Structure 1
Amino acid sequence: MPARTHFRPHPANTGGVDIRLPWWALALPALAFVALLALILNPSNAHAAAADPTMTQLLQRAQELLTR
């Protein structure tokens, strides 16, 4: 004999708070992601300081690892 399913007449109330994000809470991280992605794809636009060769070497090593 099949078991009967019981349907609720209305959706269950979780009792939680309705949280809505403002538009900039999603736009700013998306904008930052696009900016960093653009710098990775075209590193000639990233002007690194010439006084710190260690950072430049580190970025070159990271780029070499990513292009393998």
Structure 2
Amino acid sequence: MAEYILETVSVEPAQYKVHNLNCGALPATEGTRYLGSYGNQKAAIDKAVNLLNGVEPCPDCLSS
């Protein structure tokens, strides 16, 4: 199971990214929230959508 992080500082208006814990584009720990360990990225994104609007997968580490 992979671990996922939510970038809580919007990159663009109302755009928050979900990253795999090992992503090279993951920002510093400030402005992030640990989502947990999931068997697939959809479950992590679903969790993030329940926390913030405008969530999308990171294009560097997660395929849409």
TM bucket normalised to smaller: under 0.3
Bigger Rg, structure 1 or 2: 1
Q: Between Structure 1 and Structure 2, which shows a larger proportion of helix residues?
A: 1
Instruction: Report the TM-score when normalising by structure 2.
Output: 0.26
Bigger relative CO (Cα 8 Å, ≥ 6 apart): 2
TM-score of the superposed pair, with normalisation by structure 1: 0.25
Where is the strand percentage greater, Structure 1 or Structure 2?
2
